[in-house]
Amino acid sequence: MSIKEKILEGREDIEKFFIKIIGREIFVPELDVFSSRCGCVGIMITVRGLFTDDVEIFQKQLVKKLEDLAKSFDINADWIFIRTLPGSDDVINIGVRELCNLCKEEYSYKKPRPDLISLKF
């Protein structure tokens, strides 16, 4: 499978996964596979309609799903996190990241920044 097909499939797959486990419409408008200048590589998923309560309930399944997704891109899921809209329970991004040493130092906390919640670190 080409990288392009894999990314397309990954986005669709994660959207279907959410709809199935949560039981309502969740929109995944974008899935990005990225590399950073620092040396981190990862996946960033934009989500709409997901809330922190949903993540809390299905955390175990979600982490497993994201680990598998990362593995399919040959990425180690060192850090899995969600980003919320400041002051709200709306989840707007889900990140999976193979961390460089500097980012490991900065982000390896349960809540490294008030808008980030680590599901695995």
Binding site for other proteins (CB under 8 A): 36-38, 86-87, 102, 105-116
Closest CB to other proteins among residues 5, 105: 105
User: Smallest gap, in angstroms, from Cβ of residue 112 to other proteins?
Assistant: 4
User: Smallest gap, in angstroms, from Cβ of residue 106 to other proteins?
Assistant: 4
Closest CB to other proteins among residues 9, 115: 115
For residues 42 and 100, is the Cβ–Cβ distance under 8 A?
no
User: In the Cβ-directed half-sphere of 30, how many Cα atoms lie within 13 Å?
Assistant: 8
Closest CB to other proteins among residues 64, 109: 109
Identity at 39, one-letter amino acid code: G
